[in-house]
Amino acid sequence: MTLAEVARRAKVSTTTVSRVLNQSALVNPATRRAVERVIRELNFHPNLHARVLAAGKSRTVGLVVSNLENPFFLDIFRAMESEAHEHGYDVTVQNTGYDRARLLAAVHQLLQVRAAGAAIIVSEMDPALQAELAESRMPTVIYDVGQPGPHVTSIKVNYERGIRKAVEYLYALGHRRMAFVGHHPGLKPLQGRREAFLATMKEYDGRIHYALAMEADDPPGGKRAARSVLASRPQPTAILCANDFMALGVLGELREQGLKVPEEISVVGYDNIGLAQFAAPPLTTLDIPREAIGRMAFHALTADRNPAKAAAAPPREWLVEPELVVRASTAPPPAR
Amino acid sequence: MTLAEVARRAKVSTTTVSRVLNQSALVNPATRRAVERVIRELNFHPNLHARVLAAGKSRTVGLVVSNLENPFFLDIFRAMESEAHEHGYDVTVQNTGYDRARLLAAVHQLLQVRAAGAAIIVSEMDPALQAELAESRMPTVIYDVGQPGPHVTSIKVNYERGIRKAVEYLYALGHRRMAFVGHHPGLKPLQGRREAFLATMKEYDGRIHYALAMEADDPPGGKRAARSVLASRPQPTAILCANDFMALGVLGELREQGLKVPEEISVVGYDNIGLAQFAAPPLTTLDIPREAIGRMAFHALTADRNPAKAAAAPPREWLVEPELVVRASTAPPPAR
DNA sequence: TTGAAAGCGCTACCAG
DNA sequence: CTGGTAGCGCTTTCAA
């Protein structure tokens, strides 16, 4: 089934059919109806590849994330998708599983489909890829790493500020022994949270004792990490997690070990995913506005498309501030 | 950057470049290396739209699901994707949010990109769309509804059997007042679970008192549903959920109401998502092999591609049996 | 082992 | 308002 076939049956030119497909105004209403009828009868679906090829532009933007299983990324995807749909765009997601090879493959795929833009919200970004992306001239959004440029917008989360808020809060509650549960050393953004923690610890200069553990980004990873830090001595009275998803796992381990949260030990997460309030107990965490990030990412990718509104273009760099959300997983440490 | 440009620089024909791109064996190793060098230097990424258009076939399969946020669907996606990658295919996911209009749009999109096949794992399928899909002759996998056909494979879960297992288990524990938490009446598969529950109740013919509540497919929905069934009298001593994702929400509500699980009330989920073991308490549930479903779906879509192995083709209809997984959210009802 | 040329299905420019 | 036609970038015979 091709457009030519439709044209033949409708007794018009392919040009006309193309016009009705593209909502062009320059087509007689009667003609339009006739063509539409044929399209419906034939169950015609225009070949998108041909359209993109001929038109030379695509209305698809790509999103590549590290771990779709983690609601943090999923939320960004959904926000971006809904914003895109409102503007007549589609978004294709790709999951890397924190694997650099898959990241590379994902980016190449987007380059091959000549996507209108790509938002790379991953933790495993590397400089070489950033350079390649910059050269490609495809509008790009990068997360937590690198610098903005002609076609690249950078979104960064002020992790350190977030961690500091959490540590200050815990310190004020009386906690002096803390543990940090992060993951995948070497992955910049996550390491960012870890380093933010270390930097904050340094500020407290010896007044806080701490332990660290790095594991996979999921509940089982959190569980293992919790087991590890609980084995350290002196045992921490509070555990800070690199994200809520892992925090779910640390809560599970604490439950298994019979440690009451928050009476015996406090836990704070990061991200404020929806599940955080359904954790037992509901998780104190640092909110990161995923909805805004997703929408912002979409606009950053499609902004240059409207040179007219260039003035209203979004900033090429955006710093996000996490907010502390106190729920039931934190309390003063046990009197001992 | 086009293939022609590469050909010019490499001083060969476009045909040759095309050949190296397609791993064709009929190209001199030296020539190949030369071309590959130019490709690398130019950072050339062949236009996928042009390739698909010219070749007339695509190595992309589509997956459309109702709610990616629900790990059940995400797991199917990941399994399908990993299987696809192993076979040189890509998969594009689309999320409908249980919205028929979005489902239609998603399917049309797949038709437009001439996808190699489409797995429609949704609860909002309707007969008209099934018919359209059948006519389209695109390999399709449908879930829980309809009949298999020339190009359509049907995967069905034996919900009733699962529900019966759960009810029998609870009945044996001593429960006589149960509630079922489902969602979106009118959505076939989910209704399927509800009807399976009702059918089972009928078998017990008055020996079990029950209540029902339908809400959204997420923890908040489960929470609302729980509130509703807890208000019914006599109050149930066990709650069966249409899926684990909602069960997370009912556990949250029970916790808020101060009801101890499983001492005062039992909860059983459905699906056995990874989070089920991280729920508090770990959830008794019915396992559905999502990994197998995802892989099976991929093969069903690409099977006809290999007429040689037609004999080893997967069955056009597959019935999945849920297995009861007992964890800590169920126990005998309180003595009262 | 390599190349010339005819499409793939659609859009867009230029006429009428 | 409508149509003819030249591509878009690549694959695929068919020859050489």
Same domain, A172 and A282: yes
Among B107, B130, B138, B278, the residue to mutate for chain A (most A Cβ within 10 A):
B278
Q: What is the pLDDT of residue A315?
A: 61
Same domain, A243 and A125: no
Between CA A47 and C1' C9 the distance (Å) reads 7
What is the number of CB-based contacts under 8 A between chain A and chain B? 105
pLDDT at A155 over 90: yes
Residues sharing a CB contact under 8 Å with residue B142, sequence separation 6 or more, in sequence order:
B120, B125, B130, B133, B152, B153, B154, B155
Q: What is the pLDDT of residue B335?
A: 87
- The rounded percent of chain A whose pLDDT value lies above 90 is 83
For residues B322 and B165, the answer to whether their CB atoms sit within 8 Å is: yes
Q: What is the pLDDT of residue B336?
A: 63
Distance CA A92, CA A98 (A): 18
For A46, which of B48, B112, B280 is closest by C-beta distance? B112
Residue nearest to nucleotide C12 (CA to C1'): A55
Strands B266-268 and B238-241: parallel
Give yes or no for a cis peptide into A185 (omega within 30° of 0). Answer: no
A328 falls within a domain: no
**Contact list, B275 vs chain A (CB under 8 Å):** 219, 248, 275
Q: What is the pLDDT of residue A104?
A: 97
Mean pLDDT for the stretch of residues B219-228:
97
Work out how many domains chain B is built from and give that number: 3
Same domain, A241 and A268: yes
Mean pLDDT for the stretch of residues B114-124:
96
A302 falls within a domain: yes
Same domain, A151 and A185: no
Instruction: Using pLDDT thresholds of 50, 70 and 90, give the confidence band for residue B311.
Output: very low
Give B12-57 pLDDT, tens digit per residue.
Answer: 999 999 999 999 888 999 999 999 999 999 999 999 999 999 999 9
Q: What is the pLDDT of residue A311?
A: 45
Q: Roughly what angle, to the nearest 10 degrees, separates helices B29-42 and B14-21?
A: 90
Nucleotides of D under 7 A from a protein CB: 1-5, 7-13
Same domain, A146 and A293: yes
CB proximity A15–strand C (7 Å threshold): yes
CB proximity B3–strand D (7 Å threshold): yes
B336 falls within a domain: no
CA distance B27 to chain A (A): 23
Long-range contacts of B33-37 (CB under 8 A, 24+ apart): B34/B10, B35/B6, B35/B10, B37/B10
B178 falls within a domain: yes
CA distance A303 to chain B (A): 23
* Amino acid in the structure at residue B24: S
What HEC string does chain B produce?
A: CCHHHHHHHHCCCHHHHHHHHCCCCCCCHHHHHHHHHHHHHHCCCCCHHHHHHHHCCCCEEEEEECCCCCHHHHHHHHHHHHHHHHCCCEEEEEECCCCHHHHHHHHHHHHHCCCCEEEEECCCCCHHHHHHHHHHCCCEEEECCCCCCCCEEEEEECHHHHHHHHHHHHHHHCCCEEEEEECCCCCHHHHHHHHHHHHHHHHHCCCCEEEEEECCCCHHHHHHHHHHHHHCCCCCCEEEECCHHHHHHHHHHHHHCCCCCCCCCEEECCECCHHHHHCCCCCEEEECCHHHHHHHHHHHHHHHHCHHHHHHCCCCEEEECCEEECCCCCCCCCCC
Same domain, B152 and B137: yes
Instruction: Using pLDDT thresholds of 50, 70 and 90, give the confidence band for residue B206.
Output: confident
Per-chain mean pLDDT for chain B: 93
Q: Do A90 and B108 touch (CB under 8 A)?
A: no
CB proximity B2–strand D (7 Å threshold): yes
Same domain, B277 and B197: yes
A53 falls within a domain: no
Q: Do B219 and A45 touch (CB under 8 A)?
A: no
Between CA B48 and C1' C1 the distance (Å) reads 26
pLDDT at B219 over 50: yes
**Contact list, A133 vs chain B (CB under 8 Å):** none
Same domain, A201 and A317: no
CB proximity B48–strand C (7 Å threshold): no
For A47, which of B112, B218, B281 is closest by C-beta distance? B112
Residues 32-51 of B with CB under 8 A from A: 43, 45-50
Q: What is the pLDDT of residue A205?
A: 85
pLDDT at B189 over 70: no
Count CB atoms within 10 A of the CB of residue B88: 8
**Contact list, A52 vs chain B (CB under 8 Å):** 49
Domain that holds residue A232: 159-288
**Contact list, B135 vs chain A (CB under 8 Å):** 43
- The rounded percent of chain A whose pLDDT value lies above 70 is 94
Q: Specify the CATH number for the domain of residue A126.
A: 3.40.50.2300
pLDDT at B171 over 90: yes
Give A262-299 pLDDT, tens digit per residue.
Answer: 999 999 999 999 999 999 999 999 999 999 999 999 99
Give A159-218 pLDDT, tens digit per residue.
Answer: 999 999 999 999 999 999 999 999 876 666 566 788 888 888 998 888 999 999 999 999
Give A300-329 pLDDT, tens digit per residue.
Answer: 999 865 444 444 455 689 999 999 999 999
Same domain, A99 and A25: no
Per-chain mean pLDDT for chain A: 93
C-alpha A264, offset from chain centre: 33
Q: Do A278 and B252 touch (CB under 8 A)?
A: yes
Same domain, A175 and A261: yes
Give B244-263 pLDDT, tens digit per residue.
Answer: 999 999 999 999 999 999 99
Closest chain A residue to B41 measured between Cα atoms?
A132
Instruction: Using pLDDT thresholds of 50, 70 and 90, give the confidence band for residue B308.
Output: very low
For A135, which of B43, B136, B280 is closest by C-beta distance? B43
Cα separations (Å) of B310 from B86, B297, B304? 20, 16, 7
B53 falls within a domain: no
Q: Do B90 and A78 touch (CB under 8 A)?
A: no
Instruction: Name the token pair of B238.
Output: 């066990």
Mean pLDDT for the stretch of residues B163-181:
96
Q: Specify the CATH number for the domain of residue A29.
A: 1.10.260.40
Same domain, A258 and A115: no
Residues sharing a CB contact under 8 Å with residue B85, sequence separation 6 or more, in sequence order:
none
Count CB atoms within 10 A of the CB of residue A334: 12
CB proximity B28–strand D (7 Å threshold): no
Q: What is the pLDDT of residue A335?
A: 87
Same domain, A298 and A255: no
Q: What is the pLDDT of residue B185?
A: 61
Residue nearest to nucleotide C8 (CA to C1'): B54
Instruction: Using pLDDT thresholds of 50, 70 and 90, give the confidence band for residue B145.
Output: confident
**Contact list, A115 vs chain B (CB under 8 Å):** none
Cβ–Cβ contact A277 with B under 8 A:
yes
- Residue whose token pair is 């049956």: A9
Lowest mean pLDDT among A41-45, A182-186, A211-215, B60-64: A182-186
**Contact list, B255 vs chain A (CB under 8 Å):** 280-281
A252 falls within a domain: yes
* Residue A115 per-residue DSSP state: -
Query: Pick the residue with more confidence: A24 or B265?
Result: B265
Instruction: Name the token pair of B107.
Output: 């399917």
Flag whether the pTM goes above 0.75: yes
B331 falls within a domain: no
